[in-house]
Amino acid sequence: MNEWISMGLRCMMIWASAPLFAGLDPVFFERLAYWPEVENTLGLVSLAENGNQSVTYQVTFQADWSADTHPEGFPGGAHFSPLIGANHHGNLVIWEPGGLATPGMESMAETGATSLLAGEIQSAIDAETAGDLMQGGAIDSPGDTDFLFQVDRRFPRVTLVTMIAPSPDWFLGVHGLLLFEGGRWLEERTVTLYAYDAGTDSGPEYTSPNMDTQPQEPIARLTESPFDVGGTLVPLGTFRFERVP
C-alpha cells in the first residue's frame, strides 16, 4: 500500500478513536504504543500524562505469613524466595490462573531458583514483549523488602512472583498488573496476596517430599488447608506499588 495512504488510514483510525480518550482504554494505549511515529505526528502524546517517559515505582513486599496467621503445620525456616518478574506488554503472559506453569515457573515455585524463569523473561525481552527483568531479595516471613523498577507506555504491566518456602510448589504473585489506568499512572496500588499452587507438585503439606505432578495441572489458587483458617481464606501478605516522584 502507498505509504501516504497507509499513514492516512492509521491517522483516521486514531482520530476515530479520539473520543475514547475520555474513557482511556488502557489496551488502546498499549496498541498505540506500537505506532509511535503516528502518535508523535498527531501530538497525541500530550493527551496522556508523561507520554513515552519511563515512570519509576517502588514495590514493597510485606510478608505477613506466620504461625499466628496460618497456624496449621507452620514450617520452620519460613521464608520467601527472591522476587522475580518483569514489566511487560499486554501480549505477554508469564503465568496466569488456569494456565500451565512454564519450566521457569515450576522451578521458581518448587525450589525458589530464578535462573530458568530469568531466561524465559530474557527471551521475552529479546522478543520485545517485556522491558526489564525485575529481581528483588529473599526474606524471612514475617518481614518486608522493597525495590525500584520502571515502566513505560509500551510495558505498563507488572508480573512478579515469589515462592512460599518451604512448600511443594506454592507461590505468591501478580500477573499482568496494569499500572496505567484512565490515562494516568497510578499513584498507589496495593494487592492482597493469596497462595497459588503451580500445579507441578502434588505434596499436600509445606514439607512434603517431592511428588512431581503428571500430567501437570493448571495454576490455581489454594483454597484449602493450611491457607483456609477456620473457614476463612487468609492472605499471606501484600505487594504495595507506589509511584516515585
- Residue 183 near residue 46, CB atoms below 8 Å: no
User: 136, 200, 219, 239: which one contacts Ca ion (CB under 5 A)?
Assistant: 200
Which of 74-82, 93-101, 146-154, 208-216 is the region at the interface with Ca ion (rule: CB under 5 A)? 208-216
Position 212 contacts Ca ion (CB under 5 A): yes
- Residue 243 near residue 57, CB atoms below 8 Å: yes
- Let me know how long the chain is: 245
Which of 63-71, 129-137, 144-152, 198-206 is the region at the interface with Ca ion (rule: CB under 5 A)? 198-206
Pairs from 230-233 (Cβ < 8 Å, separation ≥ 24): 233/194
Going residue by residue from 74 to 93, which x/- string records binding to Ca ion, judged by CB under 5 A? --------------------
Cell numbers 504504543: residue: 33
* Residue in the shown chain whose Cβ atom is closest to Ca ion: 200
Q: How far is the CB of 110 from Ca ion (least distance, A)?
A: 6
Going residue by residue from 149 to 188, which x/- string records binding to Ca ion, judged by CB under 5 A? ----------------------------------------
In the bound state with Ca ion, the residue whose beta carbon lies nearer, of 25 and 217, is 217
Pairs from 177-181 (Cβ < 8 Å, separation ≥ 24): 177/241, 178/26, 178/90, 179/55, 179/57, 179/151, 179/241, 180/26, 180/29, 180/151, 180/153, 180/156, 181/24, 181/26
Binding interface with Ca ion (CB under 5 A): 200-201, 212
